[in-house]
Structure 1
């Protein structure tokens, strides 16, 4: 309502009131009631006059007056109608006298209540009492309470009164949901938005923004959020003063912290986060502004997958890494906390983790490097704890080769600060828990970095709050047989057996882990004893057989020599010369036949032992099979250059057992022995049976253990070398199983050892010179990789340039590839 229109309506209402007073003076009946009515009408006219004088100078919040005017007009018209019925005293009047008396009584009640509301309205608009009406809000009707608060927000004499009114509106909404609709209907959103845009204190802006978030519902949420976001963007723009930018960032942080639902809104994610990252990374931004922006981003990232994804899609990750590296104090802490929130989301969301923390991402690598630097170099617990938590959350993102991450965490187990040590134990637990598919490789890294003694020390002398996490970590380490011996020697079995039962009850994770680990370590001790006895028997057997072989060979050679030198001279002319010529080949033939028989006997015994142990219900990877595998390795090494022995060994069924060990065993030592044996038998395999062998060997090229990868490369070289007459067929089969892509990746990986890359180069050159799958080779970019090496790029390229035979092999492979493409 325009102010002039509002004043005109007040004048019209006052004229209507005077008409009622004139009608009262002309009444002939109900004199007492009319007198009482006259007093009430006179009081209302006085209040209307005061209201007109009070509100005339300035435009105001007119919603209460509009409602009051409409109601008062109805009351005056009702009063005039009743008074008009009191002008005559006749028969009809007598019939309706009782009804008129009742109407007077009802009108008195209505007018008395209305006079109270009008007095409140007049006080509300008086400049000296604006804001003071909040004290009586609780005693009023819901609508009047809302009017009082909104009017104070609009017209309060002091900023404190206005802030108090805004907070009271928020408390009304929290107390009863119905107030939300009343506040929206009575114009509260516009008043709060106006306060939000005013150049006033941060406290007032925070109060207004939080109340607006409470008022948002399905109908008006889009409008409210759009208005708020546009206000924030305008304040955060580069053209705004730094003080206004800082205040806007603080306001965003407050909204995100107090209203978690609001920060998930698309407008916040698509506009505010980008603007905050720009200000955070700008060189022109002051330290105070950067602190406010980082705090706002921290609150926005908490528990929000969408906001964290937006942060990683911007240059936010690189910006955070740079700030952690060069800044100090609160800004560095806020940046680390943002990273912690992002990694926490990544831990629980596999899709987000795979997209944001890939091994090829420069931003992810920079963040991880800075976190490791904080863990290793900074002494502040406040910074170390969230950094360790972040690395622990990313446990499933690290490959087996990235053991550099494990070392700093293991070192922190010995930290004097128990909070740091506990977080390190929790982070390491994420690396070796069953949910991490590289738990076996990571557990070996922890053992190699001497983590078990530190865990036992922490268990014996550390704070009791760290014990559950340390025990869980020990239990997960014990799940792998290769660690059992180290754990038992360190006293882990005794510690688990003497644990307080209350700990198992309080932590459900330990309730099943601890008993299972104790059982496993005890069974390991039993198996170890049996293995020792079996090993002693096998060693004794090999020693006895070796002595028997030597004695037999010596005795037969003496007998042979005696026969040739004593009896033959009497029968043959010139015997000595002929026999001396015959002795060396004769001795060699007989010895080889004898050794072949003994080797076959030993091979059959080793295969029998392997079959017997693999028939046990436990998986093959959990057995100690080193001695029989070592025996088979030595036999297959002899058979590599002896075709007859090679065929005989192949018939024993040892190949199936070796392939099973490669596929199922988790012990890298067993894998290495089995792969070596398969490599020695490379020339035994035909096109009809090489499919499964080559497939298994190629899959081992992606194993996390460097020794396994090395032996797989060497074994595949034996399949593709020129000495193997099926080298072309074997090479084609390797290409079919994506060996080209794996080898190119191995050569381009800067973290791989040089000797692995050299053997990878040799195998790749062998494949390139023989394979027919040109398209697969081309897709693997093998030609590009070889050319880069010949240009002496990188450490491997330098090494190749110093080795003429390698350079010649690479050049030959390049020519073969070029011919393929030209053809």
Structure 2
């Protein structure tokens, strides 16, 4: 059989498994020879011989059973640990037996205590081998073994993990499902358990469960257990390193039941959340397409916009974007028969997965906008509430964030005449004006700010609602509005002068002055906007009436002192306002291009 199948990539430096398996057997033969050659301590050595013979028999029995053709694959972690430990015990035994053989000074230093120690070690090794034989009993007489070998007597979890993982290799599918669920609850308990499961090679057999297309239960058990394991970057990366990304995408793409797709979407989301490499991998495997497709189902009822989404997805399929030959669609009858709460959970999970895939990843954001995903997201933001709405909102905010720092994406996705972009902006403005929930209001404000460079000067409808939110009773909403307005009036924005005049026209100066009494963060952002207004529209009567010059001169020294760029900005703004007050127009620095 192929012993190497069980060796995972963490343990390349280990000796070949054949060497580990034969080493203690050879040692036991040398001990038997040394006992036969010895003339001292006959009684003690006879007892040692019996224990060594019993151990040797168990070692040979194990090697025979693993060499038999009935064993489908091989899990080597506990085998290596126990066989290595047995080898150490037998090496000590051999040393003692050899001391007994020599008619020298050594005889005087061999005492009853030495034999007692060796007897204990040999008994422990026999206990370990008995446990190992029971765990790898392919006849299934023992089922899943949860007894404790001496080697793990201080750490029962390790023994359980070994038993469970061995069962994932050796037992029928119904037992594997049960075992995966046990590993799942162990992983849920604490991070140490997660670490042991991963270190002891639990990831490959769990991924294998995802391939069991005929058994939704096994796919769900595998996906949920991997979800529980993948809650940090290191472990998420280890799942990806075992070719996990393509296995997961293939399982997601099959004609799977809705419950399987929910579990796998959550796993995609979890790995993308914690590991940028997994995030990229999922993008390369084109998982965005099926996620958008599942999200768009029943979103566009009798609407030709669904056909628009579908036709784009189909075009991408013919251009070779298809991951494997599987179909992403869900049978309409099957969809209609699913309970509404399950359909909602699927959409919510897909939307959150898209949010995590888009986070800080330009390529994935591009792919999302290529699939006409924005239209779908806009429609859901318009019609849905709760977590689904928030996940879609956050996805678009990530796309807006990528667009802010990438001119190509900005121009291709958020063109003024683009129906998707217009639909998204309309929804953001609606939420800013109508939503009572700050968790919804703040991402909408933030997204409008991130898109500031896409709006023409005549698009004043976006600035009014932001100015209005400066007065919001929740200080975080006011601060976020100041940050968003800062992006409109910043010199980085080609239209900063026109936007500055619009902010003043919408009576933004007084609420900005009020924010100067807020927290340090609030004061900082309000000062930035006031400075830009002074730089780009310093001759405005509104700035004089609100006594902005006095406010800037009296700005909190502690805050200004901590930020050198703010100190510079305040000094420039004061200089500009003084010039205007003196009737001199200061020279304008040309703004950056958008």
Same fold (TM over 0.5): yes
1:435 and 2:492 aligned:
yes
Q: Which has the higher contact order (CA 8 A, sep 6+)?
A: 2
1:406 and 2:422 aligned:
no
Q: What does residue 316 of structure 2 align with?
A: none
Tell me by how many angstroms 1:366 deviates: 1.9
Q: What does residue 521 of structure 1 align with?
A: 577
Q: What does residue 468 of structure 1 align with?
A: 524
Tell me by how many angstroms 1:487 deviates: 0.4
- d(CA) in 2 for partners of 1:70 and 1:453? 77
Deviations 1:772-798 (A, max 9, x none): xxxxxxxxxxxxxxxxxxxxxxxxxxx
Q: What does residue 120 of structure 1 align with?
A: 128
Q: What does residue 258 of structure 1 align with?
A: 274
Deviations 1:438-492 (A, max 9, x none): 11111111122222233334446x6665332222111100002554433012221
Q: What does residue 477 of structure 1 align with?
A: 533
Q: What does residue 762 of structure 1 align with?
A: none
1:380 and 2:392 aligned:
no
What are the residue-to-residue correspondences of 1:109-508 with 2, within 5 Å?
113=121, 115-123=123-131, 125=134, 127=142, 130-131=145-146, 133=148, 137=152, 149-155=161-167, 161-163=182-184, 171=192, 183=199, 188-194=202-208, 198-201=218-221, 203-208=224-229, 214=235, 224-225=242-243, 227-237=244-254, 239-265=255-281, 267-283=282-298, 286-459=343-516, 465-481=521-537, 483-508=539-564
Tell me by how many angstroms 1:357 deviates: 2.1
- d(CA) in 2 for partners of 1:215 and 1:99? 57
* Alpha carbons of structure 1 residues 107 and 294: separation in structure 2 relative to 1, 3 Å: farther
Tell me by how many angstroms 1:378 deviates: 2.7
Structure number with larger C-alpha Rg: 1
Judge conservation of contact 2:194–2:229 (CA < 8 Å) in 1.
no
Aligned-residue Cα RMSD (Å) equals 5.1
Judge conservation of contact 1:444–1:483 (CA < 8 Å) in 2.
no
Deviations 1:307-349 (A, max 9, x none): 2121111111111011111222221111111111111222233
Tell me by how many angstroms 1:114 deviates: 5.7
Q: What does residue 634 of structure 1 align with?
A: none
- d(CA) in 2 for partners of 1:14 and 1:477? 85
Tell me by how many angstroms 1:274 deviates: 1.3
- d(CA) in 1 for partners of 2:513 and 2:278? 47
The farther-off stretch of 113-122 and 317-326 is: 113-122
Judge conservation of contact 1:233–1:272 (CA < 8 Å) in 2.
no
Q: What does residue 34 of structure 1 align with?
A: 45
- d(CA) in 1 for partners of 2:233 and 2:561? 47
- d(CA) in 2 for partners of 1:345 and 1:134? 54
Judge conservation of contact 1:170–1:211 (CA < 8 Å) in 2.
no
Tell me by how many angstroms 1:519 deviates: 2.6
Tell me by how many angstroms 1:428 deviates: 0.7
- d(CA) in 2 for partners of 1:59 and 1:123? 20
* Alpha carbons of structure 1 residues 465 and 438: separation in structure 2 relative to 1, 3 Å: same
Tell me by how many angstroms 1:215 deviates: 8.1
Judge conservation of contact 1:250–1:292 (CA < 8 Å) in 2.
yes
* Alpha carbons of structure 1 residues 275 and 137: separation in structure 2 relative to 1, 3 Å: farther
- d(CA) in 1 for partners of 2:535 and 2:346? 50
Deviations 1:116-173 (A, max 9, x none): 3442343354659845659975968xxx998874443333985565236668997599
3-state SS of the aligned residue for 1:261? helix
* Alpha carbons of structure 1 residues 337 and 75: separation in structure 2 relative to 1, 3 Å: closer
Judge conservation of contact 1:321–1:370 (CA < 8 Å) in 2.
yes
Judge conservation of contact 1:381–1:420 (CA < 8 Å) in 2.
yes
Judge conservation of contact 1:154–1:191 (CA < 8 Å) in 2.
no
What are the residue-to-residue correspondences of 1:359-758 with 2, within 5 Å?
359-459=416-516, 465-481=521-537, 483-527=539-583, 619=587
- d(CA) in 1 for partners of 2:72 and 2:190? 23
* Alpha carbons of structure 1 residues 105 and 356: separation in structure 2 relative to 1, 3 Å: farther
Judge conservation of contact 1:245–1:289 (CA < 8 Å) in 2.
yes
* Alpha carbons of structure 1 residues 123 and 165: separation in structure 2 relative to 1, 3 Å: farther
3-state SS of the aligned residue for 1:527? coil
Deviations 1:31-68 (A, max 9, x none): 14523422432553686699799999997855244786
Q: Which runs of 5+ in 1 are unaligned?
A: 87-92, 529-612, 623-663, 667-702, 705-823
TM-score, normalised to structure 1's length?
0.52
What are the residue-to-residue correspondences of 1:762-801 with 2, within 5 Å?
none
Q: What does residue 582 of structure 1 align with?
A: none
3-state SS of the aligned residue for 1:415? coil
What are the residue-to-residue correspondences of 1:803-822 with 2, within 5 Å?
none
Tell me by how many angstroms 1:216 deviates: 5.2
Judge conservation of contact 1:301–1:338 (CA < 8 Å) in 2.
yes
- d(CA) in 1 for partners of 2:514 and 2:474? 14
- d(CA) in 2 for partners of 1:94 and 1:490? 104
3-state SS of the aligned residue for 1:389? helix
The farther-off stretch of 72-81 and 404-413 is: 72-81
Q: What does residue 637 of structure 1 align with?
A: none
Greater share of helix: 1
Q: Which runs of 5+ in 2 are unaligned?
A: 4-16, 136-141, 169-177, 212-217, 299-331, 336-342
Judge conservation of contact 1:236–1:244 (CA < 8 Å) in 2.
no
- d(CA) in 2 for partners of 1:67 and 1:174? 17
- d(CA) in 2 for partners of 1:274 and 1:438? 36
